[in-house]
A = this chain, B = another copy of it.
């Protein structure tokens, strides 16, 4: 007898998370063990609320469904930010979830997300083991933050890097036109890890050194040193571009950002305004023409400039998760191992999700320049393969066209 599967997405969107979903769909279609793939709408909450989309049906109806899904950014199944309780203290919700699994003849559940989402995979697979259930629970990584451990990099990161590098190069062109000295501060997403901010270095080319300065959250940020750094760069360049992580902190661990950081559901600080804060500082200390630019959510949803390498890897990680559960594995996250930077070679593997959930991978300090205001060549060699290749966009009436996601519109 064949089993059905459930797949869900959780956390913040990326340009590649639907590519992993497409990979899971393809994996199930190709599998001898699995029959229907159900999409749980809004993460694990879709299982709890029994809100499913029949993805097998959608794929059967539209021969291009999987191809279109692969190139659609954000989350076709919607997201949630829901944390399961400890099942030793409160197992009611687990009983409900596994009852729904049974009712739907579920053999495996795939959860695509970041380190918070891997906590859900960890708890569900541990609970399954505790009750002797044979249902497999698998994690598939995604996050533009690239901060998951046990994998060389994460799906969605490469596309965010490609958007960032292209946008910063274009902002540099915009900036260089004026004879007047100026500073442009670009605030990049990444609360605690500076991976994405580091990728701003990819905007440089033979003639343009922009961004001239790069600050990651892994090292304490000194406003005095920052002003000194700008003065140094000013000796050579008139229009200066600075890339800075939204999460930079001072030597006491306080966020530089001007607004009071409120905590989100998981206890993470919600930041905004780091660039604005530095803009005001430069204005006050140097009296220069200065502008700050917050690249905001487009870093994670600008699907029209996705990295082909990223989408392909994300797809394969989804497929791999299906084949691993079919082999009987559970409680893992699929991973990418890098063999070499150039030529870029990788293999796909997996690691126990309990060694991944709730952990974060910082940028190693040896990949930050000794001065703390740039990244090293090793970092650039690591990043460069991840942004290679472009996708073919579909435009309709002049605007980018993606899969219909109106099933996510929520009734009031």
Interface residues of A (CB under 8 A from B): 9, 13, 42, 45, 72-75, 78-80, 162, 165-167, 169-171, 173-174, 176-179, 181, 202-203, 205-208, 234-239, 256-259, 262, 264-266, 268, 270, 273, 276-277, 280-281, 284, 291, 293-294, 296-298, 300-305, 307, 384, 387-390, 393, 395-402, 404-406, 408-412
Contacts and interface: CB of A to CB of B under 8 A. Distances in A.
Contacts of A45: 179
Contact of A398 (B300, B384, B408): B384
Of the listed residues A296, A304, A393, the one surrounded by the most CB atoms of chain B closer than 10 A to its CB is: A296
Given A171-B298, A179-B42, A399 B162 contact: yes
A270 B264 contact: no
Contact of A277 (B265, B294, B304): B265
Contact of A270 (B74, B276, B412): B276
Contacts of A170: 73-74, 298, 301-304, 400
A162 B72 CA distance: 18
Contact of A73 (B173, B301, B388): B173
Number of copies: 2
19 contacts: A13-B174, A45-B179, A78-B178, A162-B399, A165-B399, A166-B304, A166-B399, A167-B298, A169-B400, A171-B301, A203-B399, A234-B412, A239-B409, A266-B281, A293-B296, A293-B298, A294-B294, A384-B398, A388-B398
Contacts of A208: 405-406
Nearest to A234: B412
Contacts of A293: 294, 296-298
A342 to B, nearest CB: 11
Contacts of A276: 264, 270
Given A167-B302, A387-B398, A398-B162, A173 B268 contact: no
B393 A390 contact: yes
A297 B171 contact: yes
A42 B179 CA distance: 7
A206 to B, nearest CB: 8
A410 to B, nearest CB: 4
Contacts of A300: 174
B205 A399 contact: yes
B398 A176 contact: no
B397 A179 contact: no
Contacts of A307: 398
Contact of A390 (B177, B270, B395, B412): B395
Given A234-B412, A280-B266, A296-B293, A400 B166 contact: yes
Given A390-B395, A397-B388, A408 B167 contact: no
Contact of A176 (B298, B395, B408, B412): B408
